[in-house]
């Protein structure tokens, strides 16, 4: 009996550890909004990259890969 | 040894719980539903019993849906009246749907847009991507599923629909 209880508790812990949020594909409307992209404002992006380049001497490696609406 | 048995028991229990979800919906009866079309008229999937139904879940914010929509609209014309498309939209705002459709060609006679703004129907169908489509045979059983959209999907759609129209 005790083992069954422990097994049930373990299952519950595993289920909870799967993640707090699971966004279904049809719920991604807000995530798909272009304003959610980190480089949505091209002018701001250009200024930021120039600033980082001149101040920190860093070049390239900007932008975000993937992301988007998670449609497929 | 006791701890190992407990862990194995817990994992087996977890597997039993999630297995039905992984089994998929193909070859099961299509869940019944009634939704409103663009004019507010209620439309049920059972209204089309006896015809092949292509049910497509889409949204205006989904880039692959923007590619798929006109392709599907022109594709299904050749199968009128034996097959229909029920394009179920899940946008929260009607204005987004209207804006999307205003940029599309006119809808075919056997292409029906239905509105599911509260996403009540799509969970029952277990969509795994946007768009997700299912092809349902004349008896109301789901036979094929497509998750997402690729440019060469129309070829598969044609083969699948024709196999169900024989």
Cβ-Cβ pairs closer than 8 A, A with B, add up to 74
For residue A64, give the 3-state DSSP assignment. Answer: coil
**Residue B127 in this model has a pLDDT that exceeds 50:** yes
pLDDT over threshold 60, residue B133: yes
pLDDT at residue B17, rounded to an integer: 54
% chain B with pLDDT above 90: 81
Chain A: residue nearest B13 by CA? Answer: A11
CA separation for the pair B134, B151 (Å, rounded): 17
Chain B interface with A: residues with Cβ < 8 Å: 2, 5-7, 9-11, 13-14, 17, 57, 59, 61-65, 90-92, 119, 122-123, 127-132, 147-149
Cross-chain residue pair B129–A68, CB shorter than 8 Å? no
Give domain limits for chain B: 2-165
pLDDT at A67 over 70: no
| Residue B81 pLDDT class (50, 70, 90 cuts) | very high
Q: How far is B66 from chain A (nearest CA, A)?
A: 11
Residues near B127 by beta carbon (within 8 Å), at least 6 away in sequence: A24, A25, A26, B57, B147
* DSSP tag of B83: E
Q: Is the pLDDT assigned to residue B137 strictly greater than 80?
A: yes
Among A5-9, B10-14, B147-151, the range with the most confident prediction by mean pLDDT is B147-151
Identify the pLDDT of residue A59.
64
Q: Which residues of B touch A71 (CB under 8 A)?
A: 62-65, 129-131, 148
What would the pLDDT profile of B18-39 be if each residue is shown by its tens digit? 544 445 789 999 999 999 999 9
Q: Which fold has domain B2-165?
A: Glutaredoxin (3.40.30)
List residues in chain A touching B: CB distance below 8 A.
3-4, 6-11, 14-15, 24-29, 32-33, 68-72
Cα–Cα distances in angstroms (integers) from residue B43 to residues B47, B48, B126, B139, B149, in the given order: 7, 9, 21, 18, 25
Mean pLDDT of A13-22: 68
Does the model's ipTM exceed the 0.85 cut?
no
What is the average pLDDT across B99-127? 94
Sign of torsion, CA B35 B105 A31 A71?
positive
Percentage of chain B with pLDDT > 70? 90
User: Is pLDDT larger for residue B13 or for residue B59?
Assistant: B59
pTM greater than 0.80 = no
User: Which residue from B minimizes the CA distance to A31?
Assistant: B61
According to the model, what pLDDT value does residue A61 have? Answer: 61
The pLDDT value given to residue B19:
45
For the ranges A30-34, B10-14, B32-36, B105-109, the one whose mean pLDDT is highest = B32-36
| Phi, psi of B82, rounded to the nearest 5 degrees | -80, -15
Longest dimension (CA), chain A: 67
Report how far apart the first and last C-alpha atoms of chain A are (Å, whole number).
45
For strands B83-89 and B111-115, give the pairing. parallel
Can you tell me the mean pLDDT for B116-141? 95
């Amino acid at each position: 009996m005790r083992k069954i209880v422990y097994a049930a508790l373990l299952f519950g812990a595993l289920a909870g550890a799967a993640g707090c949020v699971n966004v279904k594909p049809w719920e991604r409307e807000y995530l798909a909004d272009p304003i959610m992209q980190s480089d949505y404002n091209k002018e701001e992006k250009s200024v930021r990259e120039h600033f980082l380049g001149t101040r920190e001497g860093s070049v390239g490696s900007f932008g975000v890969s993937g992301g988007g609406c998670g449609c497929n | 040894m006791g701890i190992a048995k407990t862990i194995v028991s817990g994992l087996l229990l977890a597997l039993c719980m999630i297995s039905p979800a992984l089994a998929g919906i193909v070859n099961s009866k299509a869940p019944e539903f009634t939704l409103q079309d663009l004019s507010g008229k209620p439309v049920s999937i059972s209204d089309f019993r006896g015809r092949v139904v292509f049910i497509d879940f889409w949204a205006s914010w989904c880039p692959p849906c923007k590619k798929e929509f006109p392709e599907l609209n022109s594709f299904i014309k050749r199968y009128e009246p034996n097959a229909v498309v029920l394009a179920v939209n899940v946008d929260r705002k009607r204005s987004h749907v209207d804006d999307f459709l205003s940029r599309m060609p006119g809808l075919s006679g056997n292409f029906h847009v239905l509105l599911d703004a509260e996403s009540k129907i799509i969970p029952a169908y277990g969509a795994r991507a946007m768009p997700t489509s299912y092809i349902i045979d004349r008896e109301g059983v789901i036979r094929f599923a497509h998750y997402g959209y690729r440019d060469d999907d129309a070829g598969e759609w044609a083969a699948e629909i024709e196999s169900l129209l024989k």
